Amino acid sequence: MPPALRIENLMKIYPNGFSALKGINLTVEKGDFFALLGPNGAGKSTTIGIICSLVNKSSGKISVYGKDTDTEISEAKSHIGLVPQEFNFNIFEPIEEIIINQAGYYGIERKTAVVKTEQLLRQLGLWEKRSEQARNLSGGMKRRLMIARALVHEPQLLILDEPTAGVDIEIRHGMWQFLKEINQQGTTIILTTHYLEEAESLCKNIAIIDQGEIIENTSVKALLNELNIETFILDLFEPLQEPPPLSEYSIRLLENSQLEIEVLKENSINDVFKRLDEYNIQVSSMRNKVNRLEELFMRILNDKS
Amino acid sequence: MKLKHQYIAFKTILVKEILRFSRIWIQTILPPAITTTLYFIIFGNLIGSQIDDMDGFSYMEYIVPGLILMAIITNSYANVVSSFYGSKFQHNIEEMLISPTPNYIILLGFVAGGVARGIIVGGVVTLVSLFFTDLSIQHYFLTSVVVVLTAILFSLAGFINAIFAKSFDDISIVPTFILTPLTYLGGVFYTIKLLPEFWQAVSLINPILYMVNTFRYGIIGISDIDITYAFGIIMTFITLLFWWSLSLLNRGVGIRN
């Protein structure tokens, strides 16, 4: 059975000689919720652009649900739904028309498109705004409009390029829930995001791309297992003048009543509390300094550079 | 994509285009009606009444076909160049590019939109002309065909302009510096028989001359040039521009970085 997406030796060299993609290989299985991560300019959007026929590739092969994007372009495209990074709809069109027209480009009868559009707009909380011109929507609504538009032809592969950028927390969590549901219903999802807790919370597998190369490609679980050190921030009841002399940990005082401590994977966090207790230091709360995936992400990129 | 689905995609683009220019009718339909009314008043009534007959027709009767066709030319061109460039500028052309709609359907959809606006504006200008002169069409079929072919040709030209355009300035350069001079020198206001021989020969290079004369032949039954030859020229231009447009679209020139 073919995977949802297979990329082989994909290269993109711009006319000015800049090599945006240096022969990447990637496979995304059906039903996966896949994160494609990387710093700005790493090649994520170029990869997505090529998959969706918005950017010409230099060489390499791509197939979507077994359909080659060179020889069976129409079939391949019909499987893909794209939520791009930038708003790319006609801001003067009513949002209902934007979605119905998108269905038309996929050869869906208007009658069917109208029904599907209503269903999606209701699901995404935009039904009341259906007659509004897109320019009158808030940023979060525009993002949801692009999700509705990408889903109107019921694609098997949904690609989301930073779908929650600039969206408030409540809407972001609503969108996560919605995406989880459509993934559970069988839609394969590829997500790029700068919110790494988003990738950690939603995705099963992950690839990290940097300077046009895939530098990590594994499951989120396996990747998190690679995290040898976790950094915690401890809020203290009483202020300190200097950090306690715990030689087995790297520890520093951030503020008078806040400690940053690095704990190796093999150490128990209970031991930290015991040692702090020896110095009569009471902890009121504790949190990870950064999201675990973010910590790994930074280490992988630092190792690479 | 099956033929039936291609038809739905084509219809979607066409309806979208018609709705687009209808929504902004004050910018798209009204101005040509006003401009042409002024042409009829100034050139037809005021100045025209001082000019002798041309090939047995009053000056007003003579210029009406040219003015109608001029409106069709400028509006079919303007519709496609502004709509396609606008889609590029706002990136909503990507809605079509990611879909399975074949490139030739995208091209046909935009061209059909241009033809629709050209015909509607042509119809409005024709109605306006009825306030100034009696219009008895000599050859209905030929007149209709030349209207459609002219609108197709200039819609294709507008499409190519939009493909290469990198700014809004670029979409006004061609109409201002090429299209308008060619139209004015294309026999809208005069018969080329009035020109010295050298300038008559130069005029024959202008493709708009052939369209204006064929249209004039359809309406009042006179032409400076052979109609069959004129159709040959129009069809040749349409064929060349269509393949050029499609080739640009297939290669993603100006739209796929």
What does the pLDDT look like over A250-299, one tens digit per residue? 888 888 889 999 888 778 888 889 989 999 999 999 988 777 777 777 77
Asked if residue A251 belongs to a domain, the reply is yes
pLDDT at B83: 96
> How many angstroms separate the CA atoms of A7 and B29, rounded?
49
* A64 and A191 within one domain: yes
Q: Strand locations in A90-173, DSSP E?
A: 157-161
Chain A residue numbers with beta carbons less than 8 Å from the beta carbon of B9 are 104-107
Total domains in chain A come to: 3
Q: Is B8 close to A108, i.e. CB distance below 8 A?
A: yes
Note whether residue A41 is domain-resident: yes
Q: A132 in a domain, yes or no?
A: yes
Mean pLDDT of chain A: 91
- Cβ <8 Å between B94 and A88: yes
CB contact under 8 A, B97 and A56: no
Name the residue in chain B with its Cα closest to that of A152: B99
Residues B90, A91: C-beta atoms closer than 8 Å: yes
User: In a 3-state reduction of DSSP, which class is residue B206?
Assistant: coil
Residue A114 and residue A149 in one domain? yes
| A243 within some domain | yes
Q: Is residue A235 part of a domain?
A: yes
CB-based contacts of A84, cutoff 8 Å, min separation 6? A48, A146, A161, B91, B94
| CB–CB contact B98 A77 (8 Å) | yes
B22 touches chain A (CB under 8 A): no
Query: Which of A74, A82, A109 minimises the CB distance to B100?
Result: A74
Is the CB of B193 inside 8 Å of chain A's CB atoms? no
Cβ distance A54 to B94 less than 8 Å, yes or no, reads yes
With a CB cutoff of 8 Å and minimum separation 6, the contacts of A116 are A103, A108, A152, A154
Q: How far is A296 from chain B (nearest CA, A)?
A: 33
**ipTM reported for the complex, 2 dp:** 0.90
Is A175 a member of any domain? Answer: no
Q: Residue A210 is part of a domain; what is its CATH number? A: 3.40.50.300
Query: Does A194 share its domain with A263?
Result: no
Domain holding A211, by residue range, is 1-79+156-162+187-219
pLDDT along chain B (257 residues), means of 10: 95 97 94 92 84 86 93 96 95 96 97 98 95 90 96 97 94 90 89 89 92 94 92 95 97 87
Do the domain assignments include residue A176? no
What are the C-alpha distances in Å from B160 to residues B7, B165, B181? 23, 9, 19
Question: Cα–Cα distance between A80 and A157 in angstroms, integer?
Answer: 5
Q: Per the CB < 8 Å rule, is B8 touching A75?
A: no
How close are the terminal C-alpha atoms of chain B, in Å? Answer: 25
Same domain, yes or no, for A214 and A234?
A: no
Q: Are residues A64 and A17 in the same domain?
A: yes
Q: What percent of chain A has pLDDT over 90?
A: 64
For A53, which of B11, B86, B97 is closest by C-beta distance?
A: B97
Write down which residue in A154, A177, A196 finishes a domain: A154
Judge whether residue A172 has pLDDT over 90. Answer: no
pTM across the whole model:
0.88
Whether A173 is in a domain gets the answer no
The enclosing H or E element of B247 equals helix B227-251
Helix (H) / strand (E) containing B186:
none
Asked if A67 and A196 sit in the same domain, the reply is yes
Q: Quick one: CA torsion of B163, B169, B175, B176, rounded to 10 degrees? A: -160
Half-sphere exposure of residue B107, counting CA atoms within 13 Å on the CB side? Answer: 23
Closest residue of chain A to B10, computed from CA coordinates:
A105
CATH of residue A237:
3.30.70.1560
The residues facing A116 across adjacent strands are: none
The residue among A105, A145, A161 with the most chain B CBs within 10 A of its CB, best to mutate, is A105
B82 touches chain A (CB under 8 A): no
